[in-house]
Amino acid sequence: MEGYLPLFVFLGLSIAFPIAALFVGKALRPSVFAPAKLESYECGIQAEGGARGRYSVRFYLVAILFVIFDVETVFLFPWAVRYHQLGWFGVAEALAFLAILVVGYLWAYKKGALEWV
């Protein structure tokens, strides 16, 4: 049971730290805000319309494509760490992965997902 003591200490600290941070934040922040702080924008310019404006679907499509392809490139990090141990087989795997990524980019470009006009 003594081998689990560091685990329980870490678990206790990981639960206590966020709770303590919330209480300290609540104690230190001001309880009454200035009227300017309660407005939608603090820049001093009155908002012209509502906050529920419409955005182009292309904005969301480009954002999703960026997240997808950016997250996929994170998979290259383990390959870069073990580059010497993998040898030419690792290079072939990385090139195959990058080829699939490029095919995805070309498909998105061909569908017009990256055009803003």
Q: Say if 116 falls within a structural domain.
A: no
3-state secondary structure of 30: coil
Q: Say if 26 falls within a structural domain.
A: yes
The percentage of residues in the chain with a pLDDT greater than 90, rounded to a whole number, is: 22
Range of the domain at 104: 2-110
- Which pLDDT does position 64 carry in this prediction? 83
Query: Which candidate, 40, 57, 56, places its Cα nearest to that of 48?
Result: 40
Give the predicted TM-score (pTM) of the model. Answer: 0.45
Q: What is the pLDDT of residues 27-68, one digit of tens each?
A: 998 888 777 777 766 666 776 766 677 777 777 887 888 888
Q: Say if 115 falls within a structural domain.
A: no
Structure tokens of 9? Answer: 């200490």
**Is the confidence at residue 90, as pLDDT, over 70?**
yes
Query: Which candidate, 59, 58, 41, places its Cα nearest to that of 50?
Result: 41
Q: Say if 73 falls within a structural domain.
A: yes
Q: What is the pLDDT of residues 5-38, one digit of tens each?
A: 999 999 999 999 999 999 999 999 888 877 777 7
The CATH number given to whatever domain includes residue 65 is: 1.20.58
How many structural domains are present in the chain?
1
